[in-house]
Structure 1
Amino acid sequence: MKVHGAAVILGMVILHVADTQDGHWPVHTVCNSNKISIKYRSCDPLQDIGFTLLSSCSQIWTKAITIKLTLPLRKSIDEFYIAVDLTFLGDFIFHYDESLCLPNFPRFTFCGSKKGEMIRVVTSLSTLKIPLKGIYNLMVYGINQDGFQIACVNATLEFH
């Protein structure tokens, strides 16, 4: 009887999760003002990412802003590489690759973090010096030394 009851409860939990998840993570709003709107969604099917703007949206054009990124690790990162793609109206305008962690050159405190640890990065970004208009799509991918996807984010930046 206990096994049957446990199976029913487990089935209800699984059905509830399947019913409420549409296969995508929710869209998170980072910033929404009359000048700029920033939204993002994790494109990793297994985990979401926390991204917070610790400064006001209006500061993007006037002073450096502070951001915070939080992410649980499913694999260790002895080496960590990111790729950034920026598109405007579907047209590719920018690509950037960077090695953030190398075996003998750990540039950040999260380099060498192990599976199961939580990464928290707080950093400042300089002001936006180019007056932008329109809707931009920003894709950021992060992989480790084994080619395992550590993070994937799809962001929409709308400048009014």
Structure 2
Amino acid sequence: MKTSNVLVLILVLLYINASREWPTHTVCKEDNLEIYYKSCDPQQDFVFSIDKCSDVATHTFNIRASMALRHNIKELYVKLHLIINGKTVLTYSETLCAPGHSKLIFCGMKKGEHLHYEGPVTLGIKEIPQGDYTVSAKLTNEDHVTVACADFTVKNYLDYY
């Protein structure tokens, strides 16, 4: 009896690990702008939201993001890809945390700590491009280990003119 229970438990755990795909989360959905995200890290999902969808079209807007850290953040690097019709058309990378160079309040956080940020973000662009596209974002630490990873789907039908 115990052997069969152990076997069932192992099969359930293997099924959960093999079929794990994080759900697609809605960041915002208004008349002309929709933003969704899905964690591309198979081991961790995270929480991300903004105050109002229409604020994204402005230069600065407020966000909330939260996750439990699985890795230390002594150094942190971001790499972004703009993907249109399955092709990467733009790549951007930046150092966010490094010795003597820390742009974020959570630089230096340790594995197991809870990262929570609530406040303004500035994109550094004047408009969000129109159309349907994906922005793939990956944060890695000094050991080249993924700290967070997400694919953002943007559907923008805003007319800026």
- TM-fit CA distance, 1:34: 1.3
TM-score normalised per structure 1: 0.83
Could you tell me which of 73, 86, 98 is aligned with 1:90?
Answer: 86
Deviation string 1:6-61 (CA, Å, 9 cap, x unpaired) is x73894596288369832100000111111110110000100011111x2112333
Q: Percent identity?
A: 31
Closer, same or farther in 2 for the Cα pair 1:100/1:63, shift >3 Å? closer
Which residue among 121, 129, 133 is the counterpart of 1:132? 129
The alignment's C-alpha RMSD in Å is: 2.7
Count residues in correspondence: 156
Q: How does 1:4-153 map to 2 (within 5 A)?
A: 4=2, 8=5, 11=8, 15=12, 18=15, 22-53=19-50, 55-62=51-58, 64-126=60-122, 129-130=126-127, 132-153=129-150
Distance 2:69 2:128 in 1: 36
| Structure-2 separation of matches of 1:131 and 1:99 | 23
CA 1:115/1:14 → structure 2, altered by over 3 Å: closer, same or farther?
A: farther
1-structure distance, mates of 2:20, 2:31: 31
Shift of 1:109: 1.6
How far apart, in 2, do the equivalents of 1:75 and 1:131 lie?
A: 32
1:73 positional shift: 1.0
CA distance in 2, matches of 1:41, 1:88: 17
Alpha-carbon distance change, 61 to 143 in structure 1, aligned in 2, over 3 angstroms:
closer
Query: Given the two structures, how large is their TM-score scaled by the length of structure 2?
Result: 0.82
